[in-house]
Amino acid sequence: MIGAAAVLLLRQTGRIAGVSGIVGGLVPGVRGDRAWRLAFVGGLVLGGLLLATLMPGALPRGLSGPRWLVALAGLLVGLGARLGGGCTSGHGVCGLGQRSPRSLVAVLVFMATAMLTANLLRPLLAGGGQ
């Protein structure tokens, strides 16, 4: 479904379905460019709510770490997406589908960083630092 949505967005608007770019475009709010962005983000939120309603066991309960650490992680992900020129959805779904060498490098760096970070943080979170 994610791939189909990416193709549909590309065909309808000529835009890449990178979530960081879509959300980032809502802040300055380019005239005439807001409706599809809101619809896309709204679909993400509604999809999550629908999943939580229909299959409550599919999503984990509670946070996997202290609130401040989860908030910091979210901010760092957003910063990394901006510094990296895109997010995992843009590079991973759309860029790899277009056989972009830049996206391949970006996805490899994203994944390596995620694995390293998870392995470094696992001992901290296992200690119950909540």
Name the domain count of the chain: 1
Q: Distance (Å, rounded) from C-alpha 129 to C-alpha 58?
A: 25
Q: Which amino acid is residue 86, in one-letter code?
A: G
Q: pTM for this structure?
A: 0.67
Contact 80, 86 (CB under 8 A): no
Looking at every residue in the chain, the average pLDDT score rounds to: 83
Q: Please enumerate in sequence order all residues whose Cβ is within 8 A of that of 58, keeping only pairs 6 or more positions apart, or say none.
A: 51, 52
Q: What is the per-residue pLDDT for 108?
A: 92
The percent of residues above 70 in pLDDT, for the chain, comes to 95
3-class state of residue 46 by DSSP: helix
Q: What is the per-residue pLDDT for 32?
A: 74
Six token digits for residue 98 = 């277009």
Q: What is the per-residue pLDDT for 25?
A: 82
Name the residue range of residue 42's domain.
2-126
Q: What is the per-residue pLDDT for 30?
A: 66
Q: What is the per-residue pLDDT for 50?
A: 93
Closest CA to 125 of 51, 70, 60: 70
Contact 107, 92 (CB under 8 A): yes
